[in-house]
């Protein structure tokens, strides 16, 4: 929690988080599973251990929700996140992923963000581990995305990739902060961050072709998955 406070203290008043009711879980996953965090004014804390080759779908909704997770991956796992919040609400998502030796993780956050989302992901690699972090979103209001790839001493032959791509309107507030910390000479990490603005003129042109605002956003949401 202390890291969360340091990460987002510039962007949100975190004192109000201390009053939120806490929901704590310790979960071990062997196969595919769906995690649902869909309450109003709640703070979830979860320790998640992935034992087998698994697909983990997380659905985060409601309003004013904090999700703090420490995830240990022992083999191969794919994580998909769907964020669906009210336009006047906010979500804080803090994920720390620990990759054990010879493990791998894919992490995908896709979707259309209507409220305020504060997202932090930190991946700690071990020897011969691999990660592929994909943050791709259409942002209507606000997104703060912080991604960190850590390769400590002893994480030789590890590889990490972080990709942050956002399509936003001119009035949207976007902060993309990628970070890489490589301390082992045989480890490798790459990252990319890109923000694409949908201008008023572009939106007007698309609407002149008979597309509604909602249709335009739906098309962008589906097509951003394939953008590099």
In this prediction, residue 134 carries a pLDDT of: 94
**What is the DSSP code string of 24-56?**
EEEEEESS-EEEEE--EEEEEEEEEEE-SSEEE
Q: Tell me what the pLDDT averaged over the chain comes to.
A: 86
As for how many domains the chain has, the answer is 1
Q: How far apart are CA 131 and CA 2, in angstroms?
A: 25
Establish if 226 belongs to a structural domain. Answer: no
Establish if 218 belongs to a structural domain. Answer: no
Establish if 221 belongs to a structural domain. Answer: no
In this prediction, residue 54 carries a pLDDT of: 80
Q: Is residue 33 scored above 80 in pLDDT?
A: no
In this prediction, residue 190 carries a pLDDT of: 96
Establish if 210 belongs to a structural domain. Answer: no
Q: Is residue 5 scored above 70 in pLDDT?
A: no
Q: How far apart are CA 204 and CA 192, in angstroms?
A: 30
How confident is the model over 167-198, as pLDDT tens digits? 998 999 999 999 999 999 999 999 999 999 98
Establish if 8 belongs to a structural domain. Answer: yes
Q: How far apart are CA 90 and CA 74, in angstroms?
A: 32
Mean pLDDT of 224-228: 69
Establish if 205 belongs to a structural domain. Answer: no
Establish if 50 belongs to a structural domain. Answer: yes
Q: Residue 142's pLDDT band (boundaries 50, 70, 90)? A: very high
| pTM for this predicted structure | 0.87
Q: Where are the beta strands (DSSP E) in the chain?
A: 22-29, 33-37, 40-50, 54-73, 76-85, 90-99, 104-113, 116-124, 130-139, 142-151, 159-168, 173-182, 188-197
CA 162 → CA 47, 114, 120, distances in Å? Answer: 23, 23, 12
Q: Is residue 6 scored above 90 in pLDDT?
A: no
Establish if 159 belongs to a structural domain. Answer: yes
The two structure tokens encoding residue 152: 């400590």
Q: Is residue 207 scored above 90 in pLDDT?
A: no
How confident is the model over 42-92, as pLDDT tens digits? 888 889 888 877 888 888 877 888 888 999 999 888 998 888 776 778 888
> Which domain range does residue 121 map to?
2-200
């Amino acid at each position: 929690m202390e890291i969360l406070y340091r990460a987002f203290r510039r962007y949100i008043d975190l004192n109000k988080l201390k009053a939120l009711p806490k929901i704590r879980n310790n979960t071990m996953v062997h196969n595919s599973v769906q995690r649902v965090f869909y309450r109003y004014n709640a703070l979830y804390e979860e320790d998640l251990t992935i034992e087998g080759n698994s697909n983990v779908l997380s659905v985060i909704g409601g309003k004013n929700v904090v999700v703090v997770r420490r995830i240990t991956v022992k083999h191969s796992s794919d994580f998909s996140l769907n964020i669906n919040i009210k336009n006047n609400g906010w979500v804080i998502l803090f994920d720390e992923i620990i990759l054990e030796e010879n493990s791998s993780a894919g992490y995908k956050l896709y979707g259309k963000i209507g409220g305020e989302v504060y997202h932090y992901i930190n991946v700690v690699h071990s020897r011969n581990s691999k990660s592929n972090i994909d943050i791709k979103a259409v942002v209507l209001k606000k997104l703060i995305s912080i991604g960190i790839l850590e390769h400590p001493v002893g994480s030789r032959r590890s590889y990490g990739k972080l990709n942050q791509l956002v399509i936003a309107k001119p009035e949207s507030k976007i902060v993309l902060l990628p970070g890489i910390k490589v301390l082992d000479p045989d480890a490798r990490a790459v990252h990319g961050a890109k923000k694409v603005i949908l201008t008023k003129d572009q939106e007007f042109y698309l609407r002149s072709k008979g597309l509604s605002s909602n249709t335009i956003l739906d098309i962008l949401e589906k097509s951003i998955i394939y953008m590099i």
